[in-house]
A and B are shown apart, each in its own frame.
Chain A
Amino acid sequence: MSASPRGALLSGESPLVVVVGAGGVGKTTLAAALGLRSARRGRDTLVMTFDPSLRLKDALGVTDEARDREVPVAVPVGETAGAGDDGGRAGTLEASLLDPRRTFDRLVERYAPDEAARRRILENRFYRHLAGTLSGVLEYMAVERLFEVSREGRYQQIVLDTPPTRQALDFLEAPARIVGFLESGALKLALRDWFDDEGHLKAATGWKFLDRKIEHLLDRVIGLEFLREMLEFFQAFGPLYDGFRERASEVEELLKSRRTRFVLVAGPGEERIPDTLFFARRLQDAGYSLGPIVVNRVHPSFPDQEDPSDQDDQNQRFTGGEPAGPVCTPDGRTLFAWLGAQDHRGLEQLRGLVHAEQPVVGLPLQAEEPTDLEALDALGSELLRRLEGETVLVDAARHPR
């Protein structure tokens, strides 16, 4: 049973907020804005992001140093110096950039039983070339870092940005997939002694004919040499598995905790709705606590705008192959009226399609992306104002702990 989406977002009720959504919808910026607001509300906060824009990195004042450790961000103080929003102390804000490859290397160094095992893994051709892009491993490594940080307990609030991918749920499913892989027969098979002393594939089934076929198939598809390297990698990695599996289970537990809240960020417009719904449903089906859906960059509607439908009809009729100059330089007022209408229609449709209790908030297209902390803070305030305007604070009885 997952928590109600209407709990307060930045509070002790949800110490971990995970920002998810398709690529290019502004997740990273919103995650940073939420983190900043959290700190200004007096909570010690960490923002973990993947791939922020240079502008956002500049705004936060973080460098590549944040790939190795959490770095402090100078939070602008309110009118009363040193005070948070509530008149208390302002919280600290730290930022880290998630670098899966470095995390993976660190993990190998930590868990390898001895120097020889460590070197066998790090120097394995399969690891060097491929492990960094192994499906699920990259995503898993990011979660791994989250786990480390959350266990240290240094922060009251963690805001986690997720990798920019169309299938962002891959990221969430990574721990389960790794556990599934570790528990499947695949690993046991890999850990078997596959090659005999002469380098031939040992019998797999006991049926000579089938064994020869399998060896033939493997050789034709991937080549036995490559297979040997891969098996060596898994064998070298063997001693690490137990620690891995345990942690993967704990990470999954953390992500599925009722106290972990997911914010789904979506792009505007009717055409994005199926993606957004798909995302929301999969999150909920998988047992994650979906908080608000934020439809970002909604073109605003301006008063006294003409009804764009006529223009739309006219354009709908345009199907010819002839160049049509005016079509290519639409009048700005017409275009903005059309975009505003389309984005608001999309927002309303989405509201009609989700559960009645599910908050869906629109965040208007900003004239500029935030370039400094003040602008980021303003964006965060705007988002929270809209979120909390819709949020009913749930009483403690419904949410024990």
Chain B
Amino acid sequence: MTETPRHASDTPADAPDPGLHRAGFLVVTGKGGVGKSAVTATLGRTIARRGKRTLAIEVDPRENLHQLLGTPPSGGEILDAGDGLFVQHLKPRAVVDRVIEERVRLGAVVRKVQSSPVYQHFVDGCPGLKELAVLEHARRLLTERRFDTVILDAPATGHGVSLLRAPQVVAEAVGEGPFGRIAREIAELVADPGRCGVVIVTQAEEMPVQEARELAAMLDEQLDRRPDLLVVNGLYPPMPREDDGAAAHSPDAPDASDALFDLWRRRRAINRRELERLADSWPGEMVGLPLLPISRGPALVAALGACWLSDPQRALGSVGRRPRAQGGVL
């Protein structure tokens, strides 16, 4: 490694994610349980290390990011996680209130309206409103130049695309009017690959891969855009004698009857099969991250960051493709 890069484009450090550092706003999507928060934390650290003032936002009933970044729970505040990285945990309801307060300056009446049950039901029931408020919050932080990069760990909903689609749906449904204008502004941001990057996190297993493919297809159909990066998390390590050349450092041959090796071999085979399935439909950039014997916390984030930067193909074994900057049609 060379010394800390001043300009990411001059160094190998930016090889894993060309384009990502251009977009000020990154949305990390994926189903629950695939390691979305760990990837968000790793991406945040990696980008912040390049000298970008970065905020990682989490929207989830329970806080996760602080544990990975070694900060106390944010409780809604923006906390300094060190090295140019900040973290914030958002409760969508509070964000809706704040956005309405900020965009609709009506003072005391606002509070009166906000405390009424009708308003509460409206906020709970109005589809897309919470998603819209969270996106608007991120957009404002960027326009006010408080951060160079904002990374949103999207809530693990049925499909991550619903968050990204919310502005468009609301804009279409609401039509004219100020609410519709806000929605359209955000819809434009989300649709612009130069300003908003979409990262899909998945695992090389059947359901997560199926969902990642569906998500990519929906992005294409409904937002006319592609994800910028696919992160395949939690890969089992290559077998000692796997035909990908990894045997060199493991001289001892596994005993085929060994239950451990059998499980390892078959889980690894699933990883390889699903990676191939991904590679078939995904011409863009793909980063593989290994399953590591490290507890969830800053050490894991540091190790994942190192694996990401050292060689994005390493964890993929022989299956991964060299990254291409331009993606084709899925």
Contact = CB atoms under 8 A, between A and B. Distances in A.
Interface of A: 22-25, 51, 53-55, 125-126, 129-130, 133-136, 163-167, 177, 181, 184-186, 189, 210, 213-214, 216-217, 219-226, 229, 267, 270-271, 274-275, 278, 300, 302, 305, 308, 311-312, 315-325, 327-336, 338-339, 342, 365, 367-369
A223 B303 CA distance: 49
Contacts of B267: 365, 367
A126 to B, nearest CB: 7
B175 A321 contact: no
Given A24-B32, A329-B315, A336 B296 contact: no
A335 B293 contact: yes
A126 B173 contact: yes
A368 B207 CA distance: 13
A184 B293 contact: no
Interface string B1-26: 10000000000000000000000000
B104 A220 contact: yes
Given A22-B33, A219-B178, A300-B263, A328 B100 contact: no
B314 interface: yes
A51 B118 CA distance: 34
B306 A129 contact: no
A229 B162 CA distance: 22
Given A315-B292, A342-B295, 17 more contacts: A129-B172, A133-B127, A135-B124, A164-B158, A165-B32, A165-B156, A217-B106, A223-B178, A226-B177, A320-B306, A323-B306, A329-B238, A330-B291, A332-B237, A333-B260, A335-B291, A368-B270
Nearest to A50: B158
B161 to A, nearest CB: 12
B206 interface: yes
A144 B249 CA distance: 58
Nearest to B67: A271
B106 A216 contact: yes
Interface string B165-181: 00001001111111110
Nearest to A275: B62
When A and B form their complex, which 7 residue pairs have the shortest distance between CB atoms, in order from nearest?
A223-B177, A323-B310, A24-B33, A338-B293, A129-B173, A328-B307, A23-B32
Contacts of B294: 312, 315-316, 318
B282 interface: no
A361 to B, nearest CB: 19
A320 B104 CA distance: 47
